Amino acid sequence: MYLLVWLVLLVAAIWAFERFYLRGYGSKEYPVPDDPDTLQRFVQAAEPGPEHLQVINTVRELTLRISVGRKHDNLEAARSAFDTISDGYEYPSEFLPVDAGGVPAEWVIAPGAEKNRRVLYIHGGGFVVGSPKSHRTITSKFSEISGCAVLSIDYRLMPEHHLEDCVDDCRKAYHWILENGPDGPADIRQLFIGGDSAGGNLTLSLIAWIRDNKLRAPEAVVALSPLTDITFSGASLRDNMDTDVMLKPFMKALNKLPPFIKSWWVLWSYRVRPCNPVASPLLGDLSDLPPTLLQVSEAEMLLDDSRRYVYKASASGSKVKLQTWTNMVHIWQIFDPQIPEAVEAWVQIGRFLEEHASA
């Protein structure tokens, strides 16, 4: 009898530990923002054009190559495959390798970019793949539309390192870019931060840390389809699985796990509590943040990560904007100028940066 009682108590303790310490209390539902400028929707033509179909085929082929590499425990093959996503493009920018305070990086400088106006860019790739090379289409375009020198950092990746190492590299690079430009130590006149997917997660985590430590804030922030909640509680993770050709191969197995098991998997994989705001920016304080633009596709699994973040940040008084596109792949902006929706997304990013640069 006593053994049964102790067993019940043990099970209850384990359940409570997972539910309240690992997963936390989650994020409550926030209302749709009243300000009509906060939400903007772009509707794709009913039938995708040949360029869009070609992008879908490219993404499927790429995810297959990455999956094969990871399946055979060949991370180098997976990372090399992901790095090819920006191959075949001709870039107007120059790419200069640099040590950014102990973090490998490269400066991306488009013609006419001003070196005292800078962007810190944090690439995506699920914290496992990705590099400055894989994202040169994005960083070159970012430099072109912003007129800034872009610092694209090569932060440490999992599983060789922990998520805290990724976060630490971003913080080191932020300190460094405040005091250094492409030609060495120099004052900074203007600063933006950008990131996509996992890099969007690190971007939103970074700006909360900047606020809390009372550092110089960026003029504006751009997050492309960011992961904001590693408790993975967004409804679109399930609802949009079949329409997300990029993330489905990697997230399908995770979606099948019950929340209890998912929390332990996150703790083991990321070495951090799922509800920790450093890893789940959605679950932190979203007040007093710099102007932030989020772009996301309505067809992708991370749609609700952006929606919930914007709703909460807006309710917390931060200036935030959400732009959604229909039927786009995850991080479609990397396919500029191949598809017109990527071109339009960059036009919108340019307008947002210009608005807050002048402000």
**Is position 24 within any domain?**
no
Query: What pLDDT is stored for residue 78 in this prediction?
Result: 93
Nearest Cα neighbor of 117 from 163, 78, 148, 161 is: 148
Distance, CA of 85 to CA of 106 (rounded, Å): 18
**Is position 6 within any domain?**
no
Distance, CA of 68 to CA of 82 (rounded, Å): 12
Block means of pLDDT (10 residues each) for the chain, length 359 residues?
A: 78 77 81 92 80 91 87 87 91 97 98 97 97 98 98 97 97 98 96 98 98 98 98 95 94 89 92 96 98 98 98 98 96 95 97 87
Distance, CA of 133 to CA of 95 (rounded, Å): 9
Distance, CA of 121 to CA of 81 (rounded, Å): 21
Nearest Cα neighbor of 99 from 91, 110, 107 is: 107
**Is position 175 within any domain?**
yes
Distance, CA of 49 to CA of 55 (rounded, Å): 10
Q: Name the phi and psi angles at 36, rounded to 5.
A: -65, -20
**Is position 315 within any domain?**
yes
Distance, CA of 68 to CA of 71 (rounded, Å): 5
Rounded-to-10 torsion of CA 21, 314, 307, 266: -20
Query: Measured between alpha carbons, how far is residue 316 from residues 104, 252, 285, 286, 312 in Å?
Result: 35, 33, 8, 6, 6
**Is position 257 within any domain?**
yes
Question: Based on the structure, what is the number of domains in the chain?
Answer: 1
Q: What is the DSSP string of 330-355?
A: TTGGGGTTTSHHHHHHHHHHHHHHHH
Query: Is there a contact between 238 and 303 (Cβ–Cβ < 8 Å)?
Result: no
- In terms of C-beta distances under 8 Å and separation of at least 24 residues, what long-range contacts does 209-218 make, across chains too? 209/171, 209/278, 210/174, 211/288, 211/289, 215/174, 215/175, 215/178, 216/178, 216/188, 216/191, 217/290, 218/120, 218/191, 218/192, 218/193, 218/290
CATH number of domain containing 250 = 3.40.50.1820
**Is position 41 within any domain?**
no
Query: What pLDDT is stored for residue 9 in this prediction?
Result: 79
Q: Which domain holds residue 116?
A: 52-358
Query: Measured between alpha carbons, how far is residue 119 from residues 109, 162, 172, 203, 346 in Å?
Result: 10, 25, 15, 12, 15
Query: What pLDDT is stored for residue 300 in this prediction?
Result: 97
**Is position 33 within any domain?**
no
**Is position 65 within any domain?**
yes
Neighbours of 155 (CB within 10 A): 26
Query: What pLDDT is stored for residue 343 in this prediction?
Result: 96
Distance, CA of 293 to CA of 93 (rounded, Å): 24
